[in-house]
Amino acid sequence: MKREVLTLPVEGMTCASCVTRVEKTLKRVEGVEEAQVNLATEQVKIQFDPEKTDIRNLAAAVEVAGYKLVLPKKTVTSGSTAAVSGLETEELSVQEQSYRELKKKFFLSATLTLPVMVISMIGMTDWFMRASPLSMDDINKLLFLATTGVMFGAGRRFFAIAWKLARRFTADMNTLVAVGTGTAYVYSSIAVLFPHWLSLTNVSDHLYFDTAATIITLILLGRTLEARAKSRTTDAIKSLIGLQPKTARVRRRGTEVELPITEVVHDDIVVVRPGERVPVDGIITDGVTSIDESMITGESLPVERTVGQKVIGGTINKHGSIEVKATAVGQESVIAHVVRLVEQAQGSKAPIQTLVDKIAAVFVPVVISISIVTFLLWYFVGGLSFTAAMINFIAVLIIACPCALGLATPTALMVGTGLGATRGILMKNAESLERAQTIEVVVLDKTGTITEGKPTLTDIIPFNGMTQDSLLQMAASVENRSEHPLGQAVVEHVRRKGLALKELEGFQSHPGLGVAAVVGENAVAVGNDKLMREFSIDLGTAEEVVSRLSSEGKTPIFVVVNGVLSGLLAIADTIKPTSKEAIAELKKLRMKVVMITGDRRATAEAIAREAGVDEIIAEVLPQEKAMHVKTLQNTGAVVAMVGDGINDAPALAQADVGIALGTGTDIAMETADVTLMRGDLRGVVQAITLSKKTVATLKQNLFWAFIYNVIGIPVAALGLLNPMYAAAAMAFSSVSVVMNSLRLRVARI
């Protein structure tokens, strides 16, 4: 079965019930497997079978529901190099257009409402009537005309959507506004145009044009401020998209030509001068420099890069001029991958949103019922006049609009995931972000996670009159023929010191033991203790040194020259400089830290002591890591697994939260719920802190979204709330939720 996924803007959504309606409408279309709406971005992610339906059918269904699906002007395929991310430019422009349209409507509404308010407040005073050349009937008709402009000019959208929904026997926030303001407007209009119908003696005492116009204006003000604030929640995406240069200087046919970034292809040689952004992902073929990768990894200090090392597109070349061979362009680039992950996370729903959606599905019908009961009780039981009961009816409708409810969760998640992206923390989805704050146990892989992941020569101990340099030259000359990682660590150390390797003869490899050869006139053997027993070498007092090195987590290598033990070399996978600090921070967060490794227990214990880990699981086969994670989960704990290798992928998948280091393999990053763009364990602390602060903000938002309704509805029903104050409270509830989410942008993590 074919499957296509599209993310498209939706116009006309205003509250949580709109979200539910659009999702249900799309899911009813044959061929649609999933539909997820994000009110903060005003987008819907649709997964469907293109053989059963198409984009026009989807748009038609949304149109019937009372909303508009904005279709792309052109199709951008996943392999295109024309844009960093499919529809981002168009989506952002739609959002900007929406803000500008709202701003125009607000200013139109405010311009017409201001005289209505002023005349309603002072227009009926004796001195005004004496000074005015117009009669009271003329003034009332002017109020009618100005309010009509507000209702069906600036406020037309509320009534248009409410009418479409009414035809389908459904309702949303637009229905509440339309019914509330429409009731006040219609009643006042009848009083002005047909006063005899209502048997009114003083028409001016029964006009509520100022109420209707002010409610529309205040709601439009709230929407305008909300749209402006919501656009700031996508700043992270905008900044990521803006990282990629528009052009690149490419070497072709022996000359440098400046080309649009869309024309750069694989294996092109790109010239990058000091101070310029690297246009593409690639490998340095010439030059040495330092690269500022802070915008991708969150690492503030520039990193040294030389021939053969990778660079990421969008990073800044600080000093030297370099030439880069393009290995990834367009949608294949790191920036495109990051943007996709952030968009995916921002468009997903947190588990807590399910509860909000269920509430929103019944909220509007319940509110309409409460408002009708309020009117009936006040009119028939409370003894209020029709107009007074109507005002209470309107106040209940207006204060109950669930706009903030729909924005509470997505705005917090958008800002949180955006902040994470700027710090090199990529969340796969909203569920991962929400779950990370519940972590109780953090399982750390040793090699490449706590440690550097590559063996390093740490100790050089010569015996029997041998010098350190001679010992190194002998050992490295033999190990140069070997491909074993421990031997290569010795060779690399010798090369860094500038020592020359010697010619050798008769090279022999002893698998699992070591190597041997004749170096000059000397027979040299380099290997482990088993090789020493094989060659019947007397270790003498070296056994004490070997015991000490092993207790420190180091692997001893014996060097024998002409049948005599001439020295020891120690190899260790050293811990990263930041690992100890990160583990200490995790403990401060009251988390249990466990190290898991396939190394022997003595080595694991030594690393654990140095890093500050209290519990270790050693001598574990790769396929057993997931089993040990499951054992920890069976104790009832929420477990996070942190790793970077292919052998960590099953454990990352098994864990409640899998965290992959971006310096590791692609399969680990694809399996994990969270990806850290740099190989630094402090990112784990940051990810958990980010999750805690985002979820805290989300809960604050939900509190404020509900409190307006929980307090406001009873107050309005009791006749203690003027509809205009209700409109102001409702409008600014949405703004307060978005602004509270935006506080996350400056949070310390």
User: Cβ(7)–Cβ(87) under 8 Å?
Assistant: yes
For 169: left if phi > 0, alpha if psi spans -120 to 50, otherwise beta; the answer is left
| Candidate list 281, 357, 445, 673, residue with the active-site label | 445
Residue 445 a catalytic site member = yes
Angle (nearest 5°) at CA 292 between 287 and 293: 110
Do 642 and 687 touch, CB atoms closer than 8 A? no
Other beta carbons within 10 Å of 646: 14
Helices (H), 259-376: 294-297, 334-347, 351-376
Instruction: Report d(CA 23, CA 267) in Å as an integer.
Output: 44
- In this structure, the number of other CB atoms found within 10 A of the CB of residue 303 comes to 17
CA distance 548 to 461: 13
Is residue 272 within 8 Å of residue 245, measured between CB atoms?
no
For 343, the 3-state DSSP assignment is helix
Q: Nearest CA to 713 among 401, 404, 387?
A: 401
Q: How far apart are CA 76 and CA 246, in angstroms?
A: 18
Q: Residue 349 and residue 368: Cα distance in Å, rounded? A: 28
Contact status, residue 399 vs residue 318, Cβ threshold 8 Å:
no
CB of 54 within 8 A of CB of 29?
no
* 679, two tokens: 């190989």
Q: How many CB atoms lie within 10 A of CB 25?
A: 21
Beta bridge partners of 5: 47
Which residues face 616 on adjacent strands? 595
For residue 514, the SS3 value is strand
DSSP-assigned states of every residue in 8-33: EEEES--SHHHHHHHHHHHHTSTTEE
Q: Find the helix or strand (DSSP H, E) in which 546 lies.
A: helix 542-551
The amino acid occupying position 642 is: V
Q: Which residues contact 54 (CB under 8 A, 6 or more apart)?
A: none
The pair of three-digit structure tokens given for residue 700, joined into one six-digit string: 């604050």
Report how far apart, in Å, the C-alpha atoms of 461 and of each of 500, 552, 565, 602, 607 are. Answer: 20, 15, 11, 21, 22
Q: Cα separation of 35 and 171, whole Å?
A: 20
Report the C-alpha gap between 417 and 233 in whole angstroms.
10
Q: How far does the chain reach from its first CA to its final CA, in angstroms? A: 44
Strands 322-328 and 255-260: unpaired
DSSP state of 698: H
Per-position DSSP letters for 118-151, written without gaps between them:
HHHHHTTSHHHHHH-SS-HHHHHHHHHHHHHHII
Sign of the C-alpha dihedral, residues 256, 258, 264, 270?
positive
DSSP letter for each residue of 455-503:
-EEEEEEE-TT--HHHHHHHHHHHHTT---HHHHHHHHHHHHHTPPPPP
Q: How many CB atoms lie within 10 A of CB 357?
A: 19
Fill in the DSSP letter of residue 402: -
Longest dimension (CA), the chain: 126
Query: Which residues have a catalytic role annotated?
Result: 445
